[in-house]
Amino acid sequence: MKAHVHVMLKDGVLDPQGEAVRHALGGLGFEGVNGVRQGKVIELDLAEGTTEAAVREMCEKLLANTVIESYRIEMA
Amino acid sequence: MKAAVVVFPGSNCDRDLATAFRNAGCDVSMVWHKDTDLPADVDIVGLPGGFSFGDYLRCGAIAANSPICRAVKAHGDKGGYVLGICNGFQVLTETGLLPGALLRNAGLKYICRTVPLTVATSDSVYTRGYNAGDVIQVPIAHHDGNYTAGADELAALKAEDRIAFTYNANPNGSDSDIAGILSPNRRVLGMMPHPERAAEADQGNTDGARLFAHLTEALAQA
């Protein structure tokens, strides 16, 4: 089984990389891009029966820094 | 005075930091990230600059969860002294020994140059050799030095006089121009600038030497 963990900077935390991407899109002529936030996706290949609670603990302990990041778990 | 300098894969300021401690009169041992214990009776632990574990996941995140960092956390939690410089500061925020986090520089560029810092407090073993308001020149070399903390944490840092150093011309977007902060008990210091690169005449700058000299003197008396 797999889990996908989406990690994003929290709302309100300035994302300079996302801003740079937004500027670059504007430079390419794409109009109407009001904002870009850049995050990451971590794909976990898990033993059958691993619970979402266990993945949540992984996020809290290592995968996300909850001071600045939020995370969302998708069990697949 | 016994100092231990932790070495992670990717540390590159560990020997500079050890030399600065040694020149100030410390006995220094190097400790590997897989070690589970610090040397007995160690007075201060140094977390050096570099790119521990290639900065994978987040700067300092994997180092903060290494076996030796459990011992460093325990040392800090029981009132021990810890000095984290650059990547070491990032590790300290990841362990929770210091609040906040270090984000990508606001200008997105890696910055490597000497910058003026203001010593914001002389009330710590690290800054007692300076006067509050002193301006010193110290090199920075980082990509992720943009200090951020919640409004409550920033207010606490200010109210408790725990901001150790500020940038005179903010190079990276840090909240309140913060370059270095102290723990609530003032025994853990994290700072992005590199005092160990300004610690002897051959480096062309000795503004950081006082930090190590006065730290060593204070801990030797303790």
Residues B33-62 have pLDDT tens digits of 999 999 999 999 999 999 999 999 999 999
Residue B169, beta-bridge partner list: none
Amino acid (one-letter) located at A21: V
Residues B74-122 have pLDDT tens digits of 999 999 999 999 999 999 999 999 999 999 999 999 999 999 999 999 9
**CB of B18 closer than 8 Å to CB of B26:** no
Residues of A in Cβ contact (< 8 Å) with B146 = 16
B14 and chain A: CB distance < 8 Å anywhere?
no
**CB of B38 closer than 8 Å to CB of B45:** yes
Q: Do B65 and A61 touch (CB under 8 A)?
A: yes
- Asked if the model's pLDDT at residue B222 lies above 80, the reply is no
For residue B166, report the phi and psi dihedrals to the nearest 5 degrees.
Answer: -125, 155
**CB of A58 closer than 8 Å to CB of A47:** no
> CA–CA separation, B77 vs B151, rounded Å?
24
Residues B149-162 have pLDDT tens digits of 999 999 999 999 99
> CA–CA separation, B160 vs B191, rounded Å?
17
Does B86 qualify as catalytic in the annotation? yes
Does B196 qualify as catalytic in the annotation? yes
Q: Do B106 and A14 touch (CB under 8 A)?
A: yes
Residue with tokens 């030796």: B68
Residues of B in Cβ contact (< 8 Å) with A14 = 103, 106, 173
Average pLDDT on B206-211 reads 97
Residue span of the structural domain in which B85 resides: 2-221
B58 and chain A: CB distance < 8 Å anywhere?
yes
Q: Which of B69, B86, B142, B214 is catalytic?
A: B86
B105 and chain A: CB distance < 8 Å anywhere?
yes
Burial B169-196 (b: 16+ CB within 10 A, else e): ebbbbbbebbbbbbbeebbbbbbbbbbb
- Which domains are present in chain A? 2-75 (3.30.1280.10)
> CA–CA separation, A4 vs A25, rounded Å?
27
> Among residues B22, B76, B7, B8, which one has the least CA distance to residue B196?
B22
pLDDT level of residue B220 (50, 70, 90 thresholds): very high
Q: Do A63 and B57 touch (CB under 8 A)?
A: yes
Does B194 qualify as catalytic in the annotation? yes
| Number of domains observed in the structure of chain B | 1
Q: Which of B33, B75, B142, B194 is catalytic?
A: B194
**CB of B60 closer than 8 Å to CB of B91:** yes
> Which residue among B101, B105, B106 sits closest to A67, beta carbon to beta carbon?
B101
Show the tokens assigned to B192. Answer: 């992005």
Half-sphere exposure of A74 (CA within 13 A, CB side): 8
Interface contacts (A, B; CB < 8 Å): 36
pLDDT level of residue A5 (50, 70, 90 thresholds): very high
> CA–CA separation, B159 vs B139, rounded Å?
28
A13 and chain B: CB distance < 8 Å anywhere?
yes
> CA–CA separation, B115 vs B85, rounded Å?
15
- Asked if the model's pLDDT at residue B196 lies above 90, the reply is yes
- Asked if the model's pLDDT at residue B72 lies above 80, the reply is yes
Could you tell me if residue A55 is left (phi over 0), alpha (psi between -120 and 50 degrees) or otherwise beta? alpha
Looking at this predicted complex, what is its ipTM? Answer: 0.88
Q: How many CB atoms lie within 10 A of CB A5?
A: 19
CATH number at residue B84: 3.40.50.880
> CA–CA separation, A61 vs B72, rounded Å?
17
pTM over cut 0.90: yes
> CA–CA separation, B211 vs B63, rounded Å?
25
Residues A18-40 have pLDDT tens digits of 999 999 999 999 999 999 999 99
**CB of B130 closer than 8 Å to CB of B166:** no
